[in-house]
Chains A and B, each alone.
Chain A
Amino acid sequence: MPLQTIDKGAIVRWLTACADSIAANREYLTKLDAAIGDGDHGVNMDRGFKAVVVKLSAGAEMDIPQLMKSAGMTLISTVGGASGPLYGTFFLQAAQVCAGKAELTLADWIAMLKAAMNGIMARGKASAGDKTMLDALAPAVQALEDAAAQVHSTAGALALSACAAKAGMSATEPLVARKGRASYLGERSAGHLDPGAASMYLLLKAAAETLASR
């Protein structure tokens, strides 16, 4: 049986679910950022994803790459802070990889996330273990690649990647931040989850819950 593909409706449901999840966790993200940053991450992300949803309703005729590009541009112009350009880059890079596609295979999705990850690394110059959003994203990409090699179902592979993102997020707790505002704290940044890793997990969890369901 061929693996289930991801259609435009699924991408719309995913982006909507991202906005819902960020809104529901706005205070939580803000609290994480207040501990090791400046307490604006939840507010910034919520403002951005609300704007993404507004664009969704206005763009009924957009295809998947256009939806991804629109989300990226909207986040860049509404989020600000460090996460605006980083999440903007995430969606813009993913959009480039799926150019011309009306439906996505699991392989396409993996290629998109990988491009998104490389984009974030190029923009923020962080590497694994620096206590950033990358620490949730990189294990998720790795888990997807491993799952795909074993011909899992699309839904199964997405679920595994969300699990890996969660583990990656949790693993940021003992780390000392080396990038972003949290790095000013030095050793004092240890003992707290990274807010960007937490928001990244929410987006990947939303993907597992929406992309492979019809």
Chain B
Amino acid sequence: MKKLINRAEDVVRESLEGFAAAHADLIRVNFEPAYVARRDAPVNGKVGVVSGGGSGHEPLHSGYVGMGMLDAACPGSIFSSPTPDQMLEASKAVDGGAGILHIIKNYTGDQMNFEMAAELGRAEGLEIDSAVIDDDVAVTDSLYTAGRRGVGLTVLAEKITGAAAEERRSLKEVANICRQVNSWGRSMGMALTSCTVPHIGHPMFDLPENEMEIGIGIHGEPGRKRLPIQSADEITAMLMEPVIQDLPYRAGDRVLLFVNGMGGTPLSELYIVYRQALSIAKGHRLNVERSFVGSYITSLEMAGCSITLLKLDDTLIRLWDAPVKTPALRWGI
């Protein structure tokens, strides 16, 4: 294992310390229990939008705390859900009197920890609602699985939901916007290489030099199938087609096209993927009205990408374009 770290057990804390110091103008960090909150939280009369999950997906979620996006984020250990005490304290710290929305990626651990936090919070008089993100078409959604995983769409949901909260909409409306994003968005990812969790010390799985894994999650979980490596154009088609078929996205739909890097893939390659994804979208006569390219939800140093499509209407476009000022996402101001 070759990593820019000190001790494996200090990775999450030391990274958070650096993050706190680097972005002190936008956020503040609480360490016991660990959460990141907007510098100006609580914002009076605004729904507090709180998310969280395992670390290792940076800039998700802490990088998206700030005006126009999240009010707080709870970082867990690497690839492991944070705990209810973090979520409870974060929720209390950003409660501006209009209620709290928890945005939860659909993993058993995250779900149960957020559920306990909501029970504890309600017992203390907080108003808490939740919305789940489960956009990964690689997982069959059935009674026999934990359901689809929350992946790339999470970033878009946090941006749009945060903008809705910034418009001072009610908790019910903000939650419904988030659910609408979830029902209109789909993703699929692939890996060229595995990744190494520092305290484990070796790669999560073996992926030989000439193979790739299609349908990967964001924790190095295995995907749908393992195939010999192919060209960027062929790989892009393997991701785009199942995503388009799933909703399905239909001719004339207005969409946002998001090509995400998994952490170890250069931006130049993501644009090669974007170029082909756009051409496939056009082939299906989708109107790509917004695009988003970069490594925004990652899996440590894994090489690979994911593609997310989100159907848009005027409201979602306005909320996507609305100003945002966070450590990792900033526009409109």
Contact = CB atoms under 8 A, between A and B. Distances in A.
A184 B83 contact: no
B81 A81 contact: yes
Contact of B204 (A39, A44, A88): A39
A91 to B, nearest CB: 13
Interface string A98-128: 0000000000000000000000000110000
Interface string A5-46: 000000000000000000000000010001000111001100
A181 B221 contact: yes
Contacts of B108: 82, 124, 179-181
Contacts of B144: 176, 178, 183, 186
A80 B219 contact: no
Contacts of A181: 107-109, 146, 219, 221
A43 to B, nearest CB: 6
Nearest to B85: A77
Contacts of A84: 81, 83, 109, 112-113
Given A39-B200, A44-B80, A181-B108, A80 B221 contact: no
Contact of B116 (A76, A78, A179, A185): A76
Contacts of B59: none
A179 B146 contact: yes
B80, B113, B149, B220: most-surrounded residue (chain A CB, <10 A)? B80
Interface size class of B (residues with CB under 8 A): 20 to 34
A81 B83 CA distance: 8
Contacts of A76: 83-85, 116
A86 B84 CA distance: 12
B82 interface: yes
A85 interface: yes
A34 B219 CA distance: 12
A64 interface: no
Nearest to B138: A184
Contacts of A81: 80-81, 109
14 contacts: A38-B220, A81-B80, A82-B109, A84-B113, A86-B112, A123-B115, A123-B116, A178-B144, A179-B146, A181-B221, A184-B139, A184-B145, A185-B222, A186-B145
Interface of B: 33, 76-77, 79-85, 107-109, 112-113, 115-116, 139-140, 143-146, 149, 197, 199-200, 204, 217, 219-222
Closest 8 CB pairs of A and B: A85-B112, A183-B145, A82-B109, A77-B85, A81-B109, A82-B108, A180-B108, A80-B80
